[in-house]
Amino acid sequence: MPSSAHPTAPSANIAKIRERERVRVRRPSREEALDAVRTLIRWAGDDPTREGLIGTPDRVVRSYAEFFSGYDEDPVALLQRTFEETDGYDEIVMLKDIRFESHCEHHIAPIIGKVHIAYLPSNRVVGISKLARLVEVYAKRLQIQEKMTAQIANTLDEVLQPKGVAVVIEAAHQCMTTRGVHKPGVSMVTSRMLGVFRADPTTRREVLTMIGTPGSGSSEHV
Segment 176-222, tens digit of pLDDT: 988 888 888 889 999 999 999 999 999 999 999 999 966 544 334 33
For residue range 92-116, list pLDDT tens digits in order: 999 999 999 999 999 999 999 999 9
Examine the residue annotation and report whether 105 is marked as an active-site residue of this protein.
yes
Annotated catalytic residue, options 21, 73, 80, 107: 107
Annotated catalytic residue, options 103, 116, 136, 173: 173
* Residue 4 CA from chain centroid, whole number: 28
For residue 26, which phi and psi values (nearest 5 degrees)?
-75, 120
Examine the residue annotation and report whether 106 is marked as an active-site residue of this protein.
yes
Kindly indicate the confidence band of residue 7, based on its pLDDT and cuts at 50, 70 and 90.
very low
Examine the residue annotation and report whether 66 is marked as an active-site residue of this protein.
no
Rg, the chain, Cα only: 20
Write down all domains in the chain, each with its CATH number in brackets: 5-21+70-211 (3.30.1130.10)
The distance between the two most distant Cα atoms of the chain, rounded to a whole number of Å, is 65
Annotated catalytic residue, options 84, 85, 106, 146: 106
Q: Which is higher by pLDDT, 23 or 56?
A: 56
Examine the residue annotation and report whether 173 is marked as an active-site residue of this protein.
yes
Beta strands in the chain (DSSP E): 5-6, 82-83, 93-104, 110-120, 125-126, 142-143, 164-173, 188-195
For residue range 65-90, list pLDDT tens digits in order: 999 999 999 999 999 888 887 788 88
Residue 168, C-beta contacts closer than 8 angstroms, at least 6 positions apart = 115, 116, 149, 189, 190, 191, 208, 211, 214
- ∠ Cα 96 84 133 (to 5°): 35
Annotated catalytic residue, options 161, 175, 206, 221: 175
Annotated catalytic residue, options 145, 151, 161, 174: 145
Examine the residue annotation and report whether 145 is marked as an active-site residue of this protein.
yes
Kindly indicate the confidence band of residue 23, based on its pLDDT and cuts at 50, 70 and 90.
low
Examine the residue annotation and report whether 107 is marked as an active-site residue of this protein.
yes
